[in-house]
A and B are shown apart, each in its own frame.
Chain A
Amino acid sequence: MSDEDFIRIDRVTKRFGNVVAVDDANLSIRRGEFFSLLGPSGCGKTTLLRMIAGFEFPTQGELYVEGARITDTPPHLRPSNMVFQSYAIFPHLDVFDNIAYGLRRARLKKTELAARVNDALAMIKLEGFGARRVDELSGGQRQRVALARALVCRPKVLLLDEPLGALDKRLRESMQIELRQLQKSVGITFVFVTHDQEEALSMSDRIAVMSSGKILQVAAPRLLYEEPNCREVADFIGTINFFDGKVLAPDTVDAGPIGTVHAATADSPGGKTLVALRPEKIVLAADPVPGAIRGKVIATAYLGERSHYTVAIPGREEPIAVSGQNAEKIVAKGHSPGDTVYLSWADGAAVLLPCD
């Protein structure tokens, strides 16, 4: 076993009756990595996580942690701990006993148990909260207690099932940073389930994008965003414009209304391809630029630090999405609906995807 294969999911399929929740998933998660399972609801990401935890057992396939097969191991004998979406804080125990729950079996000395729980309380910045009843805690505090309760057991793997979903936006953003720092400092492998692509991009070392039970792509956030391997991944992560393309030469594609695009392609000349262009790669100018495409602004949305534009171009029915940073104050100026604009982008800004 190498560090590359710390957790190995080997051809795992899970069926519930006729529904295939996870379909022939293969995955290797590295030691010490912050790994995210990302996808829309119902894509099978939670089922996959629950199989790693031991709450569900695969219909087919095998699971390994550190080279040891855990496919049939019941959850209480697995080297992982989980932070539940609902937190699952024990209502009949106080904060101290909730965190100490997993340690009681270990028959630690009373002082050592207290020391470990108090360390955990300090880690989640809830010193002195030990005697609190859990119904006196806020949502964010409960989330921290759930985290401490799992981490105090020093698991090899920490599984997190959309742990930030119930928190408000500001708290969620600060917890994202905290969680990321915590993971780096404890060095435990995190497997994090989320449907929020920004959350996954900002926190993860690597992300697996799932859809309808299948793992579509496994890559680092930047690669996933800039070099998606299929239309579904490109579409799920951020906004993107698609154009039908025809391969002219190994590095040249005719993308119809937006002219020729230069990007490496494996397709042979004459083949069809899909040209994908992110909105923020497109530069809008009010005055003609050599090689630019003329368009007309249909709608704008001002979002503070950036603006979104919807631009119609000749020869294409579907308008193009463009976004621009508002580097200068645009109180008076900026592109308004009806304005003529010129669209251009750098060579290599577009990605070529297989047609599906």
Chain B
Amino acid sequence: MTTADTTIGGGLTARLAHFYRRSEGARGLVLLTPTMLIMLAALAAPLALLALYSFWTQDGYVLDKTPTLAQYATGIGRATYRELFYRSVEISAVVTLITVLLAYPMAYFVAFRAEKKFIWLILLTIPFWTSYLLRVFTWKLILGYNGVINSGLMSLGIIHQPLELLLYNPTAVVVTLAHAWAAFAILPIYVSLEKIDRSLLEAAADLGDGPIRRFFRITLPLSMPGVIGAAVLIFVPTTGDYITPSLVGGSGGVMIANVIEEQFDKVGNWPLGAALAIASIAAVGIVTLLFVAAMRAAAARIR
């Protein structure tokens, strides 16, 4: 009997092992499983719950679970919320544009001109070794009423009274976010520039292109994956950022995430907060897809 058991057990193990070795899919699944479990528990489940809540109604202290689109009607219909959606996307788009434009030359320098690339990459990422919150506070210190810029300008005698327009406005949000996310733009652009075969640039020069044409016909289109990656990497999280606008944005710099947070916290209207959150995800998704498609089309037109 023992012999029989061993045979059956051994046979099953052997069959499983055989299946595991033969099937690419099975091996992939095993590698994915730990991450998948975490993602399911920590991301997919809350997101599903959020979607569920967005179809319910908060009636005082009672949660009415009759499915309705009322929250979406309020979220998109009310001018205040619509205004906030537009402003969030606008601020985020400006942040993305500025960050990518400033990051590109830096990445270009490290990829093409720098001799000690590793040191440059370390230097560029050092600010990002501290927490995001600390970096935002640093900008408060720089832009604040008694901040570095104001006291500097005053000690130089250029101004006699601290400037109040530096902090608590959308510009402060843009400046802070652009700095906070710079490394996320530099690194993907650097990687895509680094991958460009230098003989392609020589070939372009050989075929009659000067440095500027070479850049626009070879370097830029070949680094486009890095640029698109950087832009998406910045645009998606900054649209939903609420730390920076709440710390340096003031009333004029409020973004959609601040209102969502309010609905879940102070106001206690979870269904409306959920609907706003889902709508915000959809908005970011649509804008990102349009952006990626537009950039791809533009890159394909370069000859």
Closest residue of chain B to A55 (Cβ to Cβ) is B202
B203 touches A84 (CB 8 A): yes
Closest residue of chain B to A90 (Cβ to Cβ) is B200
* Interface residue ranges of A79-136 to B (CB < 8 Å): 80-82, 84, 86, 88, 90-93, 97, 100-102, 104-105
Q: Does B121 contact A (CB under 8 A)?
A: no
B contact residues, range: 20 to 34
A88 touches B200 (CB 8 A): yes
Give Cα distance in the complex from A101 to B202, angstroms: 13
Give Cα distance in the complex from A97 to B217, angstroms: 11
B209 touches A76 (CB 8 A): yes
Q: Does A75 contact B (CB under 8 A)?
A: yes
Give Cα distance in the complex from A80 to B202, angstroms: 13
Q: Does B236 contact A (CB under 8 A)?
A: no
Q: Does A147 contact B (CB under 8 A)?
A: no
Q: Does A149 contact B (CB under 8 A)?
A: yes
B205 touches A100 (CB 8 A): no
* Interface residue ranges of B119-163 to A (CB < 8 Å): none
B222 touches A88 (CB 8 A): no
Q: What total of chain A residues lie within 8 Å of the partner, measured CB to CB? A: 25
Give Cα distance in the complex from A150 to B302, angstroms: 20
Give Cα distance in the complex from A210 to B221, angstroms: 40
Q: Does A53 contact B (CB under 8 A)?
A: yes
Pick from B199, B205, B206, B221 the residue with the most CB of A within 10 Å: B206
Give Cα distance in the complex from A229 to B202, angstroms: 37
Complex interface: chain B residues within 8 A of A102 (CB): 207-208
Selected contact of A153 from candidates B199, B208, B210, B222, CB within 8 Å: B208
Give Cα distance in the complex from A150 to B207, angstroms: 7
B208 touches A88 (CB 8 A): no
Give Cα distance in the complex from A90 to B218, angstroms: 8
Closest residue of chain A to B221 (Cβ to Cβ) is A92
Q: Decide: A75 near B197, CB < 8 A? Known: A92-B222, A100-B303.
A: no
Complex interface: chain A residues within 8 A of B221 (CB): 92
Q: Decide: A82 near B203, CB < 8 A? Known: A97-B303, A100-B303.
A: yes
Give Cα distance in the complex from A84 to B206, angstroms: 10
A338 to chain B, nearest CB (A): 54
Closest residue of chain B to A53 (Cβ to Cβ) is B206
Selected contact of A76 from candidates B199, B206, B218, B299, CB within 8 Å: B206
How many A-B pairs fall under 8 Å by CB? 62
* Interface residue ranges of A132-190 to B (CB < 8 Å): 149-150, 153
Complex interface: chain A residues within 8 A of B50 (CB): none
Closest residue of chain A to B203 (Cβ to Cβ) is A88
B207 touches A101 (CB 8 A): yes
Give Cα distance in the complex from A276 to B213, angstroms: 55
Complex interface: chain A residues within 8 A of B302 (CB): 92
Complex interface: chain B residues within 8 A of A93 (CB): 303
Q: Does A74 contact B (CB under 8 A)?
A: yes
Closest residue of chain B to A84 (Cβ to Cβ) is B199
Q: Does B98 contact A (CB under 8 A)?
A: no
Give Cα distance in the complex from A105 to B206, angstroms: 13
Complex interface: chain B residues within 8 A of A53 (CB): 202, 206
Give Cα distance in the complex from A86 to B198, angstroms: 11
Complex interface: chain A residues within 8 A of B299 (CB): 92
A86 touches B204 (CB 8 A): no
Pick from B209, B299, B303 the residue with the most CB of A within 10 Å: B303
A84 touches B204 (CB 8 A): no
B303 touches A75 (CB 8 A): no
A91 touches B203 (CB 8 A): no
Give Cα distance in the complex from A115 to B197, angstroms: 30
Q: Name 17 A/B residue pairs within 8 A (Cβ), A-sorted.
A: A53-B202, A55-B202, A76-B208, A80-B206, A81-B206, A82-B202, A82-B206, A84-B199, A88-B197, A88-B199, A91-B200, A91-B222, A92-B299, A92-B302, A101-B207, A102-B207, A153-B208
Residues of chain A at the chain B interface (Cβ within 8 Å): 53-55, 74-76, 80-82, 84, 86, 88, 90-93, 97, 100-102, 104-105, 149-150, 153
